[in-house]
Structure 1
Amino acid sequence: MTAPGGNMPRREALPAEPNPHAQQLAEQLRALKDHGELSMRQLAARTGYSQKSWERYLGGSSLPPRAAVAALARIRGADPVRLLALHEVAAGTWNNSRTSTPAPAPSPSPAEAPESAASPESAASPESAASPESAESDVLVASGTSAAGAGIGPAAGRSLRIALGAGAVALVLAVSSTVLLALRLDAHEDGPAVASPVPAAVTTSAPAPVYTCRIQRVDGLWYAGISRTPDAEVAYGSTGPGVAEAQCLLRRAGISPGGIDGMFGPLTQRAVKALQKRSGLVPDGMVGPLTWKALRG
């Protein structure tokens, strides 16, 4: 019995069933549906299986197809591997339990036939018209008719219908798996092409500044036109305009610091020590207030 709005009662007890694996599968499917707060109508719309089919699947009176189990796991974001493994075990014991107690093949009752034929929902919904459940029903009805016409017993006819239904579902799953594998391989092959712009971003970094020495004497002091600092301390590893100013003034003093690149490297340090020795300063290789005075004097 369903609750208003197409929802099954969440704690409705499953019927007595000689197949514990199928019962366990139904309980786990019901837990996924309840935790997702999905109505039966929403579940049918998002999986392609009718509400009546899900009532049977979740109630434990009918074993759901593998595709239905995978669809419910997918929309809930759950791992379908464990559920499909349980379904496989349940399917084997389900068929054995059903074939061991022969029963006459079910035929659609007169009350159900007009409902399925003239239902406005099934006529208006292309999903229900082409759903796996309707295809499975067609296979079962057709196989049951041919079995009865050939004089096959009820148990054999039911086994034939089950085999045909399982074969159809297995074919659909095989085709779906092949398509998904091909899509994943294409995405994997296209991966490096998406990540390739990373080196391009490195090449667009800002170029190193270019310094030009413009030596001039102002108020008795020498300047290179890059920095007018009188006491900024620059040492090995420093960079920037202060280093470039010191390099220009070292070159004016006749001591080569290497290039005028604004980077205080070993050549610039060697030139600073030479200037300090010549000026009677401690040759520590650092440009401080006294060394700036010697450079500008």
Structure 2
Amino acid sequence: MSRWAVLPAELDPRVRQLVVRLRRLKDHSGLSLRQLATRTGYSPKSWERYLGGRSLPPREAVEALARTGGEDPTRLLALHEVAAEAWARGRGDVTAADAYTSVPEPPATEPEILSAEVNGARSPGGSLLVALVAGAVALVLAVSTAVLLVVRLSGGEGTGAAAPVAAPTTPAATASPTVSAPPYACRVERIDGRWYAGNSRTQGAVLAFGHAGSEVAEAQCLLRRAGISPGDVDGIFGPVTERAVRQLQKRSGLVVDGIVGPHTWKALRR
């Protein structure tokens, strides 16, 4: 079993959950970083960053690690999707691009390639565009100044400066509408030996922390029917819902990972 370094404290919990699962899978495979690089096509340095929480692995790397460890990649890919959204929102830096690239990184030239992508020289077309925009702004300012001068000179004696014209007030400008979450109801009924709550009839949609929609509301209703509180039935897969899913999985003898997949749906509907 590898002795892993502590993950960065600022790491988003959803990214942390993915990295912990990848570490476990790597330990279970018994492969070194060099052997893992040979099997997956991603360099040892790349895997060191991915498993250290310093860079988000690409979707293809996650899938390759899952298949190398003999595991169905479906659940890991669902975790990766949630982690990629959290990573992009939380950082928005260069390393977030690793979550979407599908090209394995060459071990020797990787820093140079990244530097070229980030610090590349500005193209002549970009400089020309900036110059054109600056010229247009200068022209507009010059015309505006000339019009203002003409108005002041021809405004007549004793009329004084023109009062500023107030912009019309519209309801949209004074008050913003309140956006509320869509209401979900639990209309639980048994059809053909399975329980349904009237929000979705899915049997295998993969749901994880951060997901939202009618399928999440369906799972929340069925968790309530099973005697486990998921919190409000609001269609949002938050920490309370995740905890309820884990309780159901433990009770049903399933893998306890907090992710709703085909096996968990089966337990919810039976």
* Alignment TM class, shorter chain as reference: 0.3 to 0.5
Which TM-score applies when normalising by structure 1? 0.37
Structure showing the higher helix proportion among its residues: 1
Task: Say which one has the larger Rg.
Answer: 1
**Greater relative contact order, per chain length (Cα 8 Å cut-off, separation 6+):** 2
